Every structure is written in structure tokens, then in C-alpha cells.
Amino acid sequence: MADERKTHDERGMLDPRRLDPTVAMVRELGLADDDVEEIIDLFEALRRWHQMSEAHSEASRKFMKLGENDMRAIRFLMVARRENRIVTSTMLAEHLGITGPSVTKLLDRLEHGGHIRRQPHPTDRRALSIVVTDETRASASATVGRDHARRFEIAARMTGEERRATTRFLRAMADLPVLDHAQALTPAEPTAG
């Protein structure tokens, strides 16, 4: 009963007919109740996916005893290894969007944990290349890779039309600009007339 009520309450928070700012929008768009219910189902599924995606990522990080940037670095190094690309600390810092000193700390931590090795760069004597260890690669493939394969399988079972529609929806959602909420609370300047 509590789980049922929680789901109902969470769905209610997604229902534009119950939220003041969007009630008018529903009317303006001429949406029937069935359309609104489908949209709520879509947003509920998206919310659940976001929660479960976070849970899967957390489980992987916890198993490997790594932070989020650590995992992003490991994935980057694994892809580079598969593509026979040499990775330097500068490249990794750029990929992660962090500073040189921060990437040095991250690499020190990963090296101390046995996840990466720094080795001489094959063409630049002044630089070091960074590679993921075989043990970490195998562990990441068995955990994160298995999770990714399960998600890939779900997408593979969809029709091409379903995948394209889902992709269009997710891209449109991702393309929405981030609102400046402080600006939304500022009263509009009267226009000169």
C-alpha cells in the first residue's frame, strides 16, 4: 500500500493537470486525458530510468572502489587501448574537464589502487603514457560491460522506428536550454509604448 501510494504521489508530481504553471499548457495543447496519461507514463519511466542508472553506476563504483571521475577515466583508457591510441595525462584532463593538478591526483590514486600504469611514451621522451591494468580492464568488463550489454540488448529488441522515436525524444530533452531560475522570478520590465 505504501509503495502504491508513493508511486501515485510521484506520478501526481509529474501530472501537469495538478501543477499550476502547466495546467494552461495542457489546455492550450488540446491534450485529451489519455494523451496526458501517456506523457506522465513516459516521464515516470524516464524518472525511474534515471534512478536505476544512478544505482547501477553506484554499484559499479562501489565494487571497483572508485569515484565517478575515476570510472570515467578508466572507461576512456579502455576505449583508447582497444583503438590502439596512446593517452597522456593532458588528454585525460581534457576528456574529464579537469585541471592538470587534479588529473595528477586522480592518476596517483588510480596507480596506487593498481588500476593504471604510467609508462614511457613510445614517441615523446618527455611524456608518459597511461594504460589501464589488465586486472582492472577484466573487472570493468565483467561488471560495467555486462550492465551495458544488458541495456544494449533491450535497445536491440526495439524496432528501428521505436529507437529513432526514442532518440528524437531524448535529444530534444537534452537540447532544452538550462533556465536561469533567478531571472524567471524577476518581474518583466514594462515595454515602452
Q: Which residue has the cell 560495467?
A: 144
3-state secondary structure of 187: coil
Q: 140 with 151: CB under 8 angstroms? A: no
What is the Cα Rg of the chain in Å? 23
Backbone angles phi, psi at 30, to 5 degrees: 65, 35
Q: What is the pLDDT of residues 146-180, one digit of tens each?
A: 888 899 999 999 999 999 999 999 999 999 998 88
Is the overall model pTM greater than 0.85, yes or no? no
Q: Residue written as cell 495542457?
A: 26
C-alpha span between 124 and 122 (Å, rounded): 6
